[in-house]
Amino acid sequence: MGRYEVVRIKKPDLRRIKQQSASALVTQKANLGPVLALAFGGNTLFFRLILANQLTKQIDKRMLALITGATSGIGRATAEALALLKYRLILCGRRQERLEELSRELARQTEVHVLVFDVRDRSAVESAITSLPADWQDIDLLVNNAGNAHGLDPIQDGNPDDWDLMIDANVQGLLYVSRAVTPGMVSRGKGHIVNLSSIAGKQTYANGAVYCASKAAVEALSAGMRLDLTQHGIKVTNIAPGAVETEFSITRFKGDADRAAKIYDGFTPLTAKDIADTIVYAVTAPPHVTIADVTILASAQASATTIYRK
């Protein structure tokens, strides 16, 4: 098969296609690789050529995404989903081996660049992002996914080291990475930032005050970024998942896998892929649409603390 696939498009679909982004079209045909959509169906040759030309230009300029916390969970699932859309990927994380393993896997589908740094380390963030080669600098999409929960204790018993880990990664880390990436988006007049918040950022629960506060900060930062960046053509999407079965609870309970598993007992939790699918929905929305804020719960979950278990 050559570089392009010719896709027959029925006449009623032509209007819809014209309003869609190229990446949305590629989503629909992700399994075919790069797609050149040629419209057949009674329209003029002129229109067909314009459409084909526009799509070729957009597809040739592949979107570039930077994902923090890409080594596991929602970050990894998002990297896999965006690779299917042929995004070029900058995968960021602390664990070099895992990043390289993922990079090798995804290199079959797209171009991948790995950056090893800890989002909590401001100078490491700055030097990693400024070290990007010229053709990896024009980041179209930033997925601020890195974050964690440590401990589940009443405030009087909380461990300040746990608090530092959460505030430093979930709040400071998100700020440092955003500060390094957004000036380029502003100068290009386009971009999209997806911040991973939580139902915990909207509803505070007992024993989780600091984690909830860190995610409430993400909610405020998403709203504030949208106020500052919309005028520069940059979309900001805030995603607030409920219970997602990842390494999240194992980290929260310091490696106690049995205690972590109990969190997801008796109901079907969300998966990392469920959240990645929502991110794909947000980033492939047409140019005139911003998916601003999405709360995603398992269907057995009604609030941060109400889960109907069987």
308 in catalytic set: no
- Decide: 225 and 236 in contact? Cβ < 8 Å: yes
Q: Which is nearer to ligand 8X3, 75 or 242 (CB)?
A: 242
Structural element, H or E, at residue 193: strand 191-196
Q: What angle do CA 131, 139, 133 make, to 5 degrees?
A: 30
CA–CA distance, 250 with 149 (Å, rounded to integer)? 9
> Nearest to ligand 8X3 by Cβ — which residue?
198
Q: Which is nearer to ligand 8X3, 89 or 304 (CB)?
A: 304
Q: Which is nearer to ligand 8X3, 56 or 207 (CB)?
A: 207
Rounded to the nearest whole angstrom, what is the least distance from the CB of residue 115 to ligand 8X3 in the complex?
25
Rounded to the nearest whole angstrom, what is the least distance from the CB of residue 151 to ligand 8X3 in the complex?
12
- Decide: 218 and 196 in contact? Cβ < 8 Å: yes
Rounded to the nearest whole angstrom, what is the least distance from the CB of residue 199 to ligand 8X3 in the complex?
5
Q: What angle do CA 258, 261, 264 make, to 5 degrees?
A: 155
Rounded to the nearest whole angstrom, what is the least distance from the CB of residue 208 to ligand 8X3 in the complex?
6
Q: Which is nearer to ligand 8X3, 195 or 198 (CB)?
A: 198
- The catalytically annotated residue of 4, 211, 264, 281 is 211
Binding site for ligand 8X3 (CB under 6 A): 198-200, 242-243, 304
Tell me whether residue 94 is exposed, middle or buried, using C-beta atoms within 10 angstroms of its C-beta: 0 to 12, 13 to 18, 19 or more. middle
- Residues with active-site annotation: 211
